[in-house]
Amino acid sequence: MDSIFLSGIPDSKGITTIQKLYASESILTTSLFNQYILLKISENSKILCKLVPQIAFTFTFGRCDASVINHRPNKLIDPLTVNLEVTVSKEHIEPICVTTAKRMVVSIIFKDVKYQDIWSKNTTKLADVVRHILRLYVVLNNCIVNLKKLGSKQNFNIDYILIHKTDCKNAARISSETSIMIIKTMSTIQFYHAEIGLEIKPLFGMEPQVTCLKNIIKAARNGCNPLCTMILLIGPSSSGKTCLVHHVAASLKCIIFNLISTDLISADPGSTELAIRDLFKRAQLLIKQDSKTVCIIMFEKAESMLNGKSTNAKRICAQFQDCLSSIQNYCRIIVIATTSMPHLIDTSFKQGSRFSYEIYIGIPSEKDRVKLIKGMLRTLNLNIQHKTTLSLAKLTPGYTAADLELVLKEICRESCIASELENGILSNAILLIARHPASSLKSGIGQVITKSESSPDINLGGLTNVKLMFDVCIKWPLMYPKAFKHFSVPPPKGVLLYGPPGCGKTSLVRSVASLANLNVLTAMAAELYSPYLGVTEANISQLFQRARANIPAVLFIDEIDSLVSCRSEDKKGSSGFDDRVLSTFLVEMDGITNDTEYGQGVVVVAATNRPDKIDTALLRPGRFDRQIYVQPPLLAEERFNILHTIINNSEQSVPISDSSILNKVALMTNYFSAADLANVVKEAVLSCLTIDGLETCMTVKKEHFEDALKIVKPSLSKKQILWYKNFSSEKKINHIKIDCCDDIEQLEM
The kind and range of the H/E element at 139 are strand 138-139
Higher pLDDT, 597 or 607: 607
Residue 584 has pLDDT above 80, yes or no: yes
Strands of 553-558's sheet, edge to edge? 447-449, 519-524, 553-558, 602-608, 494-498, 624-629
User: Which of 153-157, 715-719, 744-748 has the lowest average pLDDT?
Assistant: 744-748
Residue 749 has pLDDT above 50, yes or no: no
Residue 107 has pLDDT above 90, yes or no: yes
Give the highest mean pLDDT range of 130-134, 330-334, 461-465, 474-478: 130-134
Residue 249 has pLDDT above 90, yes or no: yes
Digit-coded pLDDT (tens) for 368-392: 889 999 999 988 888 888 899 998 9
User: Which of 77-91, 587-601, 670-684 has the lowest average pLDDT?
Assistant: 587-601
Residue 94 has pLDDT above 70, yes or no: yes
pLDDT at residue 58 in the model: 63
- 357-360 and 230-234 as β-strands: parallel, antiparallel, unpaired? parallel
**Mean pLDDT of all residues in the chain?**
82
Q: What is the mean pLDDT of residues 396-408?
A: 88
Alpha helices in 550-635 (DSSP H): 577-590
Residue 237 has pLDDT above 50, yes or no: yes
pLDDT at residue 455 in the model: 40
pTM: 0.74
Q: What angle (nearest 5°) sits at the alpha carbon of residue 572, between those of residues 567 and 576? A: 75
CA 650 → CA 457, 499, 517, distances in Å?
7, 28, 21
Rama region for 197: left / alpha / beta (φ>0; ψ in -120 to 50; rest): left
User: Which of 655-659, 686-690, 744-748 has the lowest average pLDDT?
Assistant: 744-748
Q: Hey, is 297 helix, strand or coil?
A: strand
User: Which of 174-178, 398-402, 737-741 has the lowest average pLDDT?
Assistant: 737-741
Q: What is the mean pLDDT of residues 16-30?
A: 74
Instruction: State percent of the chain over pLDDT 70.
Output: 88
User: How many CB atoms neighbour CB 616 within 10 A?
Assistant: 8
pLDDT at residue 651 in the model: 64
The kind and range of the H/E element at 36 are strand 36-40
pLDDT at residue 68 in the model: 93
pLDDT at residue 574 in the model: 53
Digit-coded pLDDT (tens) for 189-210: 999 999 998 888 888 888 889 9
pLDDT at residue 650 in the model: 65
Q: What is the mean pLDDT of residues 411-436?
A: 87
Question: Rounded to whole angstroms, how far apart are CA atoms 325 and 230?
Answer: 11
Q: What is the mean pLDDT of residues 135-164?
A: 90
Contacts of 365 by beta carbon, 8 Å cutoff, 6+ apart: 596, 597
Q: What is the mean pLDDT of residues 232-251?
A: 90
pLDDT at residue 31 in the model: 62
Give the highest mean pLDDT range of 77-81, 472-476, 530-534: 77-81
User: Which of 37-46, 82-91, 574-583, 710-719 has the lowest average pLDDT?
Assistant: 574-583
pLDDT at residue 444 in the model: 59
> What are the structural domains, with CATH classification, of the chain?
1-196 (3.10.330.10), 197-360 (3.40.50.300), 366-437 (1.10.8), 464-629 (3.40.50.300), 636-716 (1.10.8.60)
Digit-coded pLDDT (tens) for 273-328: 898 999 999 999 999 888 888 999 999 988 888 887 777 788 888 888 899 888 88
